[in-house]
C-alpha cells in the first residue's frame, strides 16, 4: 500500500513535531491533531503552512474523524505523558491515554489506515530483570504504565479483530531538542542541560549509580518511519539503544560540556525511582530494521547546541 497522507496525533509536542518534519521531508501530506495543552505552535514553526493543523481533543469524535480523513497511517502520540499526574488524577489521565487511544484506533479503522502507537518502557514497571525484552511479562507500577499497556492491548486486539496493520513502540528515555525544560516532568538530560547552561547546580537524586537507556529523538522518529513501512500485526517493539549510562557520569559530562562551572550535588533518592533500565533492541532490529544511530555524546552535544541557540 502506498501511503500519501498521514495523521500525527500530538504532532505539536516534543516527539510529534520532529516526526512531522521528517514525514514532510519524505514527501507525505501530514495532518496534526493536537489540543495544545502541552504541545506548542513554536514546535511547528519550521513547517508552518506545509502541514494541516487541527486544534482539538483526541476525545472529540468529529475532530479526530476530520483529522484522519484520507490518512493511510495514524501515528498516535497524543497523551498525558506524566507519571506523577497519572498517580494524582488516574481517572482523568485514563480518559486521554486509554479512551483517546481507542478513539484514534477507531478513526484509523474507518480509514483502513495503519496504526503506530507511542507506548513507553513504563509498561515494564520496576522488575530488576535486564535487559528488558518484549517477551517479559509487563508489570507496570504506575497508572501511566498501566494505561500504555492497555493501549498496547487494544492495538493487538484491533490487529487481530480487524486485520489492521498496527504496532506499539515502547520508548525508553527520550531526549533532544524541544523537550520542555520548564516542566517538572521533563527528562533528566533536559533538566541538567538547562541548569548547566545557567551555571546552576545539578542535583542527582540518590547516589547517581542508577542507569537509563537514553534514546535521541531523531532515532525515535526513525523507528516510527520504519514501523510505518513494515508489515506489523499488533506487536510491541522496544525503542532504545541497548546501552545505558549512569546518572553520575551524565551529570559530570553535561556540567563539563556546558562549561559554566556547575557543581554536581546529591539529594535524597526520588520516591518510586527504578534502579536500572536498558532495552534489548533486537526485536526492533530484526522486524523493523531499527538501530539507534545517535550516541549519547553526540545527542547531548546536539541538544546543548539547541538550548544554547534558543
Ligand atoms: C522515565 C519517563 C517516564 C516513565 C518512566 C518509566 C522521561 C522523562 N520519563 O522516567 O515518563 O516512562 O521512565 O520507567 O523519560 N534524576 C536526577 N536528577 C534530576 C532528575 C532526574 O538525579 O534532576 C534521576 C532520576 O532520579 C532517575 C533518572 O535521573 O533516576 C532519570 O529520571 P527521568 O525523570 O529523566 O526519567 P525516569 O526514567 O525516571
Catalytic positions, written as ranges: 144
CA dist 243 and 179 (Å) reads 21
Q: What is the pLDDT of residue 1?
A: 65
- Give the pairing type, strands 173-175 and 214-216: parallel
Q: How far is the CA of 211 from the centre of ligand 1 (A)?
A: 10
CB burial of 147-172 (b: ≥16 within 10 Å; e: otherwise) equals bbbbbbbbbbebbeeeebbbbbbbbb
Q: How far is the CA of 4 from the centre of ligand 1 (A)?
A: 37
- Please list every protein residue whose CB sits less than 6 Å from any atom of ligand 1: 81, 83, 120-122, 173-174, 187-188, 191, 203-205, 210, 212, 247, 270, 273-274
CA dist 15 and 79 (Å) reads 12
Query: Which ligand 1 atom sits nearest the alpha carbon of residue 122?
Result: 6
Q: How far is the CA of 248 from the centre of ligand 1 (A)?
A: 13
- From the list 289, 294, 159, the residue with the least C-alpha distance to 226 is 289
Give the largest CA-CA distance in the chain. 58
Q: How far is the CA of 154 from the centre of ligand 1 (A)?
A: 27
Query: Which ligand 1 atom sits nearest the alpha carbon of residue 210?
Result: 30
At residue 33 the predicted structure's pLDDT band, cuts being 50, 70 and 90, is very high
Closest C-alpha residue for ligand 1 atom 18: 204
pLDDT per residue over 245-298, tens digit each? 999 999 999 999 999 999 999 999 998 888 999 999 999 999 999 999 999 999
Q: Are 142 and 136 in contact (CB under 8 A)?
A: no
Q: What is the pLDDT of residue 165?
A: 98
Closest C-alpha residue for ligand 1 atom 12: 122
CA-based angle 238:239:242, to the nearest 5? 85
Count CB neighbours of 285 within 10 A: 15
Query: Which ligand 1 atom sits nearest the alpha carbon of residue 126?
Result: 14
Mutation probe of ligand 1 site: the residue of 84, 145, 185, 188 with most atoms within 8 A of C-beta: 188
pLDDT per residue over 179-215, tens digit each? 998 887 789 999 999 999 999 999 999 999 999 999 9
Task: Please give, one letter per residue, the 3-state secondary structure of the chain.
Answer: CCCCEEEEECCCCHHHHHHHHHHHHCCCEEEEEECCCCCCHHHHHHHCCCCEEEECCCCCHHHHHHHHCCCCEEEECCCCCCHHHHHHCHHHHHHHHHHHHHHHHHHHHHHCCEEEEEEEHHHHCCCCCCCECCCCCCCCCCHHHHHHHHHHHHHHHHHHHHCCCEEEEEECEEECCCCCCCCCCCCHHHHHHHHHHCCCCEEEECCCCCEECEEEHHHHHHHHHHHHHCCCCCCEEEECCCCCEEHHHHHHHHHHHHCCCCCEEEECCCCCCCCECCECCHHHHHHHCCCCCCCHHHHHHHHHHHHHHC
Averaged confidence pLDDT in the chain: 97
> What's the whole-model pTM score?
0.97
Closest C-alpha residue for ligand 1 atom 31: 188
Q: How far is the CA of 47 from the centre of ligand 1 (A)?
A: 30
Domains and CATH numbers, the chain: 5-175+216-242+279-293 (3.40.50.720)
Closest C-alpha residue for ligand 1 atom 8: 187
- Give the pairing type, strands 166-171 and 236-239: parallel
Closest C-alpha residue for ligand 1 atom 25: 205
Q: What is the pLDDT of residue 292?
A: 98
Statement: residue 74 has pLDDT above 80: yes
CA dist 302 and 156 (Å) reads 36
Q: How far is the CA of 208 from the centre of ligand 1 (A)?
A: 12
Mutation probe of ligand 1 site: the residue of 77, 148, 173 with most atoms within 8 A of C-beta: 173
Mean predicted confidence (pLDDT) in 74-90: 95
CA dist 50 and 145 (Å) reads 34
CA dist 266 and 207 (Å) reads 7
pLDDT per residue over 87-113, tens digit each? 999 999 999 999 999 999 999 999 999
- Give the pairing type, strands 264-267 and 202-205: parallel
Query: Which ligand 1 atom sits nearest the alpha carbon of residue 171?
Result: 12
Q: Are 150 and 98 in contact (CB under 8 A)?
A: yes
Amino acid at each position: 500500500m502506498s501511503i500519501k497522507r498521514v495523521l500525527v496525533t500530538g504532532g505539536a509536542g516534543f516527539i510529534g513535531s520532529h516526526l512531522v518534519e521528517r514525514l514532510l521531508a519524505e514527501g507525505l501530506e501530514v495532518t496534526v491533531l493536537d489540543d495544545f495543552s502541552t504541545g506548542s505552535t513554536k514546535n511547528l514553526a519550521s513547517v508552518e503552512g506545509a502541514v494541516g493543523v487541527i486544534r482539538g481533543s483526541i476525545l472529540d469524535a468529529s475532530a479526530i474523524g476530520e483529522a484522519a480523513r484520507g490518512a493511510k497511517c495514524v501515528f498516535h502520540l497524543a497523551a498525558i505523558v506524566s507519571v506523577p499526574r497519572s498517580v494524582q488524577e488516574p481517572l482523568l489521565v485514563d480518559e486521554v491515554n486509554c479512551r483517546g487511544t481507542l478513539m484514534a484506533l477507531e478513526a484509523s479503522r474507518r480509514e483502513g489506515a495503519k496504526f503506530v502507537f507511542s507506548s513507553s518502557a513504563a509498561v515494564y514497571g520496576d522488575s530488576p530483570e535486564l535487559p528488558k525484552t518484549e517477551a517479559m511479562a509487563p508489570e507496570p507500577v504506575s497508572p501511566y504504565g498501566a494505561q500504555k499497556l492497555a493501549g498496547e492491548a487494544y492495538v493487538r486486539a484491533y490487529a487481530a479483530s480487524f486485520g489492521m496493520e498496527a504496532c506499539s513502540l515502547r520508548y525508553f528515555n527520550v531526549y533532544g531538542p524541544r523537550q520542555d525544560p520548564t516542566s517538572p516532568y521533563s527528562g533528566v538530560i533536559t533538566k541538567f542541560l538547562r541548569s548547566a547552561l545557567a551555571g546552576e547546580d545539578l542535583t542527582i537524586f540518590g547516589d547517581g549509580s542508577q542507569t537509563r537507556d537514553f534514546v535521541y529523538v531523531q532515532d525515535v522518529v526513525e523507528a516510527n518511519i520504519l514501523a510505518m513501512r513494515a508489515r506489523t500485526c499488533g506487536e510491541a517493539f522496544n525503542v532504545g539503544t541497548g546501552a545505558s549510562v549512569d546518572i553520575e557520569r551524565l551529570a559530570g559530562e553535561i556540567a563539563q560540556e556546558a562549561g559554566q562551572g556547575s557543581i554536581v550535588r546529591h539529594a535524597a533518592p526520588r520516591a518510586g525511582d527504578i534502579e536500572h533500565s536498558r532495552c534489548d533492541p533486537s526485536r526492533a532490529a530484526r522486524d523493523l530494521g531499527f538501530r539507534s544511530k545517535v550516541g549519547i555524546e553526540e545527542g547531548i552535544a546536539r541538544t546543548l547546541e539547541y538550548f544554547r541557540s534558543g
